[in-house]
Structure 1
Amino acid sequence: MRLFKEKLAWAAPIAVILIIALFSVNLFAQGNPQVKNLPAALIINDEGEHVETVKAAVEQMSKGVDGAQPMLAFTTEKEEDIEDLFNDKKYYAALVIPEGYNDSLQNVMTNNIPATLKIYINQGFNYTGANFAKTALNGLITQLSGQYSANFIQNMNGQQIDATKASVLVSPIVPEEQIFNPITASTANGSAPTLMAVPAWVGALIGGFILFLTTSSILKRELFTRKQTLRLMGEQVLFGVIVALFSGFTVATLGQLAEINMPSYLLVASFVSFAAFCFFLLVSAITAWIGKPAITLFMVVMLLGMGVLMTPQEMLPSFFVNFIRPWVPLRFASEGLREIFYFGSGFYTGGSFNTILGIGIVGLIIFVLSIFKPVKVPVQKED
């Protein structure tokens, strides 16, 4: 029973609990996601009694059921603005009441042509979120169509139905879908940007930590002046460029071998390399100040981040949205690649690019400032 008396041995079960809890924390994000308040646009291009019915149905849907938050949160927009709004990722979808809808529904039984409500789907924003929004809007149209169908059948008073009118009588309103920023084939159902961004973080983490251990070993063997240390740090940054290029072009090459439908091999490789280098600077900065514990910190960040990368923030618990999602650097690489894959972006991807660049600049500054960190000078032993 000697081992049971050792305090360090009791650290093993405690460490297991902490590690399992860390790996399992994403169960809170993925275990039972609740779809709520997905942003959707309402575009009204007509007027009349039947248009008001649609607006009333949308208003009712926006209230939710039994006090729960609604699946969709509608905002009225103009059709000429919707493409820009989709590109800015303001909405997952839009319900459009087209011009002539009121007259079309008014005369549906005379013309034997169903009225049409349009659904615009911003697929590239987030595949999961866009699909939920599409399903909800189709459900709304089906509900409206069923109400009108019941009214038409009731008004017929048992009259015989012409075969040409039967389909219109059953479905007097039909949806017409149009996809914006489509998720292209062979991109893992929209997951390719995230799957290709993860190696950028992992490469930066491993490369940065190995170079930290290497430089630490050099500094232990030799007593450097600050100028010499600065030169060594410059070499470390240069090595970081090499690591980043290896990361980016390896990811792009493997993506090509996996037949991922990339918009441009060179563009993807360059962006991943850029993100990996900026992440490398961040990793180098933190490890320069706190040493080996930094590797644990960055692993925690990555593990916590994996649960929020592919899930719309509207489906995440508020804790993840407010305290985890904003602090996951990997998210910005994923969003940048999403811009490249589905929104026709070039190397500069807007906000995501700016954030990654900011991470790199801040990381570089903190890294350089570590030259002023107090260094413990080893005591020489006397013979």
Structure 2
Amino acid sequence: MRLFKEKLAWAAPIAVILIIALFSVNLFVQGDPQIKNLPVALIVNDEGKNVDAVKTAVKNMSQGVDGAEPVIAFTTEKEADIDTLFNDKTYYAALVVPKGYHDALTDAVKNKQPATLKVYVNQGYNATGANAAKTALTALVNQMSQQYSTTFIKQLGDKQIDAADATVLANPIVAQDKVFNAVTAKTANGSAPLLMAMPAWVGALIGGFIVFLATASIVKKERLNRSQVLRLMSNQLLFGIIIALFSGFTVATIGTIADIAMPSYLLVALFVSFAAFCFYLLVSAVTAWIGKPAITLFMVVMLLGMGVIMMPPEMLPDFFVNFVRPWIPIRFAAEGLRDIFYFGSGFYTGHSFNVIAGIGIVGLIVFVLSGFKRQNR
């Protein structure tokens, strides 16, 4: 019965409740995601009454239903710019009205050939978001096709038709898909970048905290002068490099064993190592100032981020978009690896690289400043 009098023992069920609660928060994210305002480009290369009908359908779709926000947010663009826009991750997809569409639809029954609306899918941006946009656009094309089908059948009246006519009458408009920045085979259905970025964070978290405990033990036992403090801190940084390299090359090696189709073993290993080292600097900086509570803080960040970083922001509740997603460092590593896997990027991945480097630089500065705190003590 003595155990029931120990306060630390009662902390166990409380800790379990808190951890389960944090995990359960992801149910709000993935339980019933509501898609809203997925950015999609509208490209019009033709004109005529049938083209105007497409524009009307797009306008109606952009208004939403019963006051709710629309699933798709259309923006008119030029087809010549679509590669750049997709590479810049501006749109998940594009609906293209090709040149000659009006005439093709007008003469569809006579020519026994359906008209085509093109659907471009930016798959590498985010497979979930891109597939949702593709599904919505395909449904729009099918809806228009059914409307024209009804009109054409009424116009024919009792006229006899053959099998070819029946096929066109049933589907006078068809959707033609084209995938950009394709999610390649053997990349866990597009999840490989996230799965390979996660160890960078976990390795930095565990490695940074263990090194912190070892360092704290040394500081507690000995009274160090300034040069000794600086030497100890430089050793922490050296351990960080070792931990980061172990993380990066272990991830790449396991990816090879798991038959993940990596664009380059060395490129993936070095990028994960870079991200892991920057995260290590962040962990080291925070633990140097606030100590053991930092591990709880970073665990909370990781648990909250599990569901958030898997979904596009257009499928997340506003709270998670505004107050949780911006504070999840792992997502930048995942975005960088996504650029490497699907967008042909090199080691420098643009925005994601800059953010990770910024995290590392700020972490390094804060970590170095903690040395003065140790010296004062």
C-alpha distance in structure 1 between counterparts of 2:185 and 2:18, whole Å? 40
SS class of match (2:224): coil
Gap regions ≥5 residues in structure 1: 378-383
Alignment of 1:69-218 (within 5 A): 69-218=69-218
Question: Where does residue 326 of structure 1 map in the other structure?
Answer: 326
* 2:181 alignment partner AA: N
8 Å contact from structure 2 (residues 229, 375) kept in 1: no
- My pick for the range that moved more, 306-315 or 4-13, is 4-13
SS class of match (1:116): strand
Question: Where does residue 231 of structure 2 map in the other structure?
Answer: 231
Deviation, 1:222, is: 1.4
Deviation, 1:2, is: 7.0
Question: Where does residue 348 of structure 1 map in the other structure?
Answer: 348
C-alpha distance in structure 2 between counterparts of 1:230 and 1:376, whole Å? 13
Deviation, 1:49, is: 0.2
C-alpha distance in structure 1 between counterparts of 2:245 and 2:167, whole Å? 60
C-alpha distance in structure 2 between counterparts of 1:162 and 1:24, whole Å? 58
SS class of match (2:18): helix
Deviation, 1:99, is: 0.4
Question: Where does residue 361 of structure 2 map in the other structure?
Answer: 361
Deviation, 1:20, is: 1.9
SS class of match (1:95): strand
C-alpha distance in structure 2 between counterparts of 1:197 and 1:28, whole Å? 23
C-alpha distance in structure 2 between counterparts of 1:216 and 1:364, whole Å? 18
SS class of match (2:177): strand
Question: Where does residue 335 of structure 2 map in the other structure?
Answer: 335
SS class of match (1:261): coil
C-alpha distance in structure 1 between counterparts of 2:67 and 2:285, whole Å? 48
C-alpha distance in structure 2 between counterparts of 1:109 and 1:213, whole Å? 77
SS class of match (2:67): coil
Question: Where does residue 43 of structure 2 map in the other structure?
Answer: 43
SS class of match (1:303): helix
C-alpha distance in structure 1 between counterparts of 2:135 and 2:169, whole Å? 23
C-alpha distance in structure 2 between counterparts of 1:157 and 1:22, whole Å? 63
Deviation, 1:9, is: 5.3
C-alpha distance in structure 1 between counterparts of 2:349 and 2:374, whole Å? 40
* 1:136 alignment partner AA: A
C-alpha distance in structure 2 between counterparts of 1:261 and 1:19, whole Å? 35
Deviation, 1:227, is: 1.8
Percent of residue pairs identical? 72
C-alpha distance in structure 1 between counterparts of 2:346 and 2:8, whole Å? 54
Gap regions ≥5 residues in structure 2: none
SS class of match (1:26): helix
C-alpha distance in structure 2 between counterparts of 1:341 and 1:159, whole Å? 55
* 2:139 alignment partner AA: G
C-alpha distance in structure 2 between counterparts of 1:328 and 1:338, whole Å? 16
1:3–1:218 Cα change, 3 Å: closer
Alignment of 1:244-323 (within 5 A): 244-323=244-323
C-alpha distance in structure 1 between counterparts of 2:341 and 2:374, whole Å? 46
Deviation, 1:21, is: 1.2
Matched, 1:34 2:34: yes
- My pick for the range that moved more, 68-77 or 43-52, is 68-77
* 1:80 alignment partner AA: A
Deviation, 1:215, is: 1.1
After superposition, the C-alpha distances for 1:246-272 in whole angstroms (9 at most, x for unaligned) are: 000000000000000000000000000
* 1:196 alignment partner AA: M
SS class of match (1:286): helix
Q: What do you get for the CA RMSD once the two structures are aligned? A: 1.5
Deviation, 1:373, is: 1.4
Deviation, 1:346, is: 0.2
TM-score, normalization by structure 1: 0.95
SS class of match (1:373): helix
1:239–1:13 Cα change, 3 Å: closer
C-alpha distance in structure 2 between counterparts of 1:15 and 1:358, whole Å? 33
Deviation, 1:12, is: 4.2
- My pick for the range that moved more, 68-77 or 42-51, is 68-77
Deviation, 1:374, is: 5.3
SS class of match (2:125): coil
SS class of match (2:241): helix
* 1:90 alignment partner AA: T
How many matched pairs? Answer: 377
Deviation, 1:14, is: 3.3
Question: Where does residue 380 of structure 1 map in the other structure?
Answer: none
Deviation, 1:207, is: 0.9
C-alpha distance in structure 2 between counterparts of 1:319 and 1:101, whole Å? 43
C-alpha distance in structure 1 between counterparts of 2:17 and 2:207, whole Å? 29
